[in-house]
Structure 1
Amino acid sequence: MSVQSFDESLLDDAEALQHADAALRGLAEAGARVRTEANASNDVAERLTQLGRPRALVAAGADARLLRAVLEPWCPVPFVAWPGPGLPGWVGALDLVVVLAPGGSDAETQSAVQEAVRRGSTLIVACPTQSPLAEMAEGRDTILVPSQTGDALAVAVVVLQLLHVLELGPEVNGESVAMALDDVASRCSPYADLASNPAKDLSLVLAEALPLVWGGSVLAARAGRRVAETLRRASGRAALAADADHLVPVIEGSPPRDLFADPWADPAATPLRPALFVLDDGSEQPVIRANRGRLLATAEKAQVHTRTISWTEGPEVARYAALQSMGTYVAIYLAVGLGKYLPAAT
């Protein structure tokens, strides 16, 4: 793949940034959305005190994987993340089904809700109150979490708080998540120039690279996959998030750096080399340290550029949210530098 021309001056250009205003504004308001969802669910927590411990917990829908990343190490009952249609055949009246659909629903989510109601399972569904999914979910054993913002992360934080009330998950502090998102928004604001903005600085690294993203913990790895998805959408380039065993051969197989390359050559004729981005959430288990060391040593040997994106403050879900948010800022600034948000020439 060849390099598309990247103009770093656009990162501090008010007119260029204006074309990315909607995306940047959405990131800046992420903390406020978490608070909005938390306030809207205050009454729901009181209803949960009437529920006993289920036989098993099933998280269904497209965002089930985030719940799995948080709950699997902690949940005291069998837990299954089920992103596909319907529900596992064994799910019944003794089980709890959780569905996240903050923006409405798709056919798979609807089928999971219908199956939960039909089988008499206890159902917690997070969706807009005035939506077809809310109507499908109506029943004696259904608890509706009223989604206000359409923000998947904000709704997931609220549902995780509710599951803690049921003693099915760890304590999740919504305000700490909101504060972390506010902090990222301040550090990565479009009004912060290139010299002081970490997201703009990281976008320069990606101007001539294909990102390889690695996170050591379960949540950091999940953030890495979301960041890679965002980079692909924003830039139209490849981006890979994977574990160390999959990234090492990619790094080892990268083309050698040409020390005699013409710095003034046409960027379109220059092949992209990988760059390794390590997402560090402060997790220091021995296996994580070993994998990180192996990746960094391999990258150094292959002369692959490496950068570490760190967020080690606050609870683990707040760190996850901050890493994902910062990666999204990087993707937007990369798109701005590539001219992706600029109007077509007339």
Structure 2
Amino acid sequence: MFDDSWLDDRQGWRGAEPVLRRLAEAGARLRRETEDALDPIRGLGDLPRPRAVIAAGSEARFIRAILEPVCPVPFVAWPAHGLPGWVGALDLVVVMASDAAPASLIASVHEAVRRGAQLVIAAPRPSLIAEHAMSSSTVLLPTATADPLAAAIVMLSALHEMQLGPEVRPDLVADAMDLVAEDCSPYADVSLNPAKDIALGLADAQPLVWGGSVLAARASRRVAEALRAATGRPALAADADALSPVLELTAPRDPFADPFEDGGGADRRPGLLVLEDGNGAELIRAARTRLTSAAERNDVRVCVIEHAHGSDVERYATLLQTGMFAAVYLAVGLGRYADLEN
């Protein structure tokens, strides 16, 4: 069972301190990666415009979500081994990788070099994948913090320099991350901490996570992954058409049910977590109304993470980081970090 007293008790969340510290340091990591990549990024403005852009590696789909609406050339996020057959010397391949890059991604980098494609790679300088990437057509954006999101934001800055994407202000994104870390600090009381509040809302629930815009939907999938990993519970991120039937078929709550007997396992009720990034499109508003109305009719609790100002990347980072903090606090309340203290 969920013990909410652990959320404001140092003894309760002490085992989670390394994870909470890494979340809190996200802004600092982004600043470091941005600083290290300044010089190679400055040289990208003189490169010719590519025929197409192919993104591979971690956060490739996040890059696609930002670039697709504005990129002046075709853009592909390529998750498979190797590269599309048409990729050649006229194309740009962008890769985000760690020093533990899988063999399939190393093979993709090797293939880009073999075909003579322009390659921009964010990776640690002393790494196997960086060694395979070296060529006269390669630009390395050195990374050092093993933070995929920071590397992706640095890559977005590089693509903007090449006039292929929107302007990204990593300093403002880092400031937004710092604000989340302050608001969601373990030292912030549960009554003022949005992440702890969400953990309370999902304490006995099977989470259903929804984001209406492309970026909010991407964040919802990442948050659902974090909830599954942190709690061991199923957590589903999907569009409104997939989540609506689950909410509609949920029986109203029994006020006489004993939570100690009826609140666990397969009988756990859903809880809806909405990620709201301020996208006011009519279809998105209608989908949110449909979901929340179905939840209200069937007494399903609705939790909201909302951030409606700043750039697309700032809003995405805020939604994502808040959801990540919430996943940790949910695990804390469930006692999943208790064994780490001993």
- In structure 1, what residue type is equivalent to 2:183? R
**Deviations 1:14-52, CA, capped at 9 Å, x for gaps:** 122111000000011000011001000110122212211
Higher mean C-alpha displacement, 235-244 vs 45-54 = 45-54
Tell me the matched-pair count.
Answer: 342
Query: Alpha-carbon deviation of 1:345?
Result: 9.8
Counterparts of residues 271-286 of structure 1 (less than 5 Å): 271-286=267-282
Match of 2:155 among 159, 163, 185: 159
- In structure 1, what residue type is equivalent to 2:116? G
Match of 1:250 among 242, 246, 249: 246
SS at match of 1:156: helix
**Structure 1 unmatched runs, 5+:** none
1:18 and 2:1 are equivalent in the alignment: no
**Deviations 1:179-202, CA, capped at 9 Å, x for gaps:** 110000000000012121111111
Q: Is the 8 A contact 1:124 1:143 kept in 2?
A: yes
Q: Is the 8 A contact 1:63 1:83 kept in 2?
A: no
- In structure 1, what residue type is equivalent to 2:71? C
Aligned counterpart, 2:75: 79
Q: Is the 8 A contact 1:104 1:127 kept in 2?
A: no
Tell me how far apart the structure 2 counterparts of residues 317 and 198 of structure 1 sit (CA, whole Å): 20
SS at match of 1:149: coil
Tell me how far apart the structure 2 counterparts of residues 31 and 139 of structure 1 sit (CA, whole Å): 32
Tell me how far apart the structure 1 counterparts of residues 323 and 115 of structure 2 sit (CA, whole Å): 41
Counterparts of residues 1-346 of structure 1 (less than 5 Å): 5-262=1-258, 265=261, 267-268=263-264, 271-343=267-339
SS at match of 2:72: coil
Tell me how far apart the structure 2 counterparts of residues 184 and 175 of structure 1 sit (CA, whole Å): 14
Tell me how far apart the structure 1 counterparts of residues 340 and 146 of structure 2 sit (CA, whole Å): 30
**Deviations 1:268-305, CA, capped at 9 Å, x for gaps:** 47821111111011110111111111111121222211
Task: Return closer, same or farther for 1:92/1:15 CA change in 2, 3 Å cut-off.
Answer: same
- The 4+ residue runs of structure 1 with deviation greater than 6 A are none
SS at match of 1:201: helix
SS at match of 1:153: helix
Q: Is the 8 A contact 1:129 1:146 kept in 2?
A: yes
Query: Alpha-carbon deviation of 1:250?
Result: 1.2
Query: Alpha-carbon deviation of 1:265?
Result: 4.5
SS at match of 2:177: helix
Tell me how far apart the structure 1 counterparts of residues 98 and 340 of structure 2 sit (CA, whole Å): 33
Q: Is the 8 A contact 2:65 2:215 kept in 1?
A: yes
Higher mean C-alpha displacement, 265-274 vs 147-156 = 265-274
**Structure 2 unmatched runs, 5+:** none
Tell me how far apart the structure 2 counterparts of residues 208 and 36 of structure 1 sit (CA, whole Å): 39
Query: Alpha-carbon deviation of 1:60?
Result: 1.1
SS at match of 1:211: strand
Query: Alpha-carbon deviation of 1:266?
Result: 6.8
Q: Which has the higher helix share?
A: 2
Task: Return closer, same or farther for 1:103/1:228 CA change in 2, 3 Å cut-off.
Answer: farther
**Deviations 1:279-336, CA, capped at 9 Å, x for gaps:** 0111101111111111111212222111211011211101100100000000000001
SS at match of 1:20: helix
Query: Alpha-carbon deviation of 1:148?
Result: 1.4
TM-score (norm 2): 0.97
SS at match of 1:41: helix
- In structure 1, what residue type is equivalent to 2:163? E
Higher mean C-alpha displacement, 292-301 vs 119-128 = 292-301
Tell me how far apart the structure 1 counterparts of residues 266 and 2 of structure 2 sit (CA, whole Å): 13
Q: Is the 8 A contact 2:4 2:333 kept in 1?
A: yes
Aligned-pair Cα RMSD in Å:
1.5
Tell me how far apart the structure 1 counterparts of residues 146 and 58 of structure 2 sit (CA, whole Å): 13
**Deviations 1:56-79, CA, capped at 9 Å, x for gaps:** 000012321111111111111010
Tell me how far apart the structure 1 counterparts of residues 306 and 333 of structure 2 sit (CA, whole Å): 23
Tell me how far apart the structure 1 counterparts of residues 62 and 4 of structure 2 sit (CA, whole Å): 34
Task: Return closer, same or farther for 1:179/1:221 CA change in 2, 3 Å cut-off.
Answer: same
Q: Is the 8 A contact 1:101 1:127 kept in 2?
A: yes
Tell me how far apart the structure 2 counterparts of residues 268 and 15 of structure 1 sit (CA, whole Å): 25
Task: Return closer, same or farther for 1:80/1:41 CA change in 2, 3 Å cut-off.
Answer: same
Tell me how far apart the structure 1 counterparts of residues 59 and 340 of structure 2 sit (CA, whole Å): 35
Query: Alpha-carbon deviation of 1:259?
Result: 2.2
Task: Return closer, same or farther for 1:344/1:28 CA change in 2, 3 Å cut-off.
Answer: closer
Higher mean C-alpha displacement, 41-50 vs 78-87 = 41-50
